[in-house]
Amino acid sequence: MIDVEIELEIPFHDVDAIRVAWHGHYAKYMEIARCKLMDKINYNIVEMEASGYVWPVIDMRIRYAHPLIFGQIFKVRATLTEWENRLKVDYVFFDAETDKRLTKAYTIQVAVETASGEMQYASPPILLERLGVSI
- pLDDT tens per residue across span 68-88: 999 999 999 999 999 999 999
Task: Provide the pLDDT for residue 135.
Answer: 62
How much of the chain exceeds pLDDT 70, in percent?
A: 99
Predicted confidence (pLDDT) per residue in 19-59, tens digit = 999 999 999 999 999 999 999 999 999 999 999 999 999 99
Q: Closest by alpha carbon to 2, among 57, 52, 42?
A: 42
| Paired sense of beta strands 73-82 and 2-9, if any | antiparallel
Spatial separation of the C-alpha atoms in residues 74 and 26, rounded to whole Å: 12
User: How many residues in total does the chain contain?
Assistant: 135
Spatial separation of the C-alpha atoms in residues 59 and 78, rounded to whole Å: 16
Expressed as residue numbers, the domain containing 106 is 2-131
Distances (CA, A) of 77 to 43, 106, 112, 115: 18, 11, 26, 33
pTM: 0.94
Task: Give the confidence band of 127 by pLDDT, cuts at 50, 70, 90.
Answer: very high
Phi-psi region of 96 (alpha: psi -120 to 50; beta: other; left: phi over 0): alpha
For the domain that residue 30 is a member of, what is the CATH number?
3.10.129.10
Count: domains in the chain: 1
Spatial separation of the C-alpha atoms in residues 108 and 115, rounded to whole Å: 22
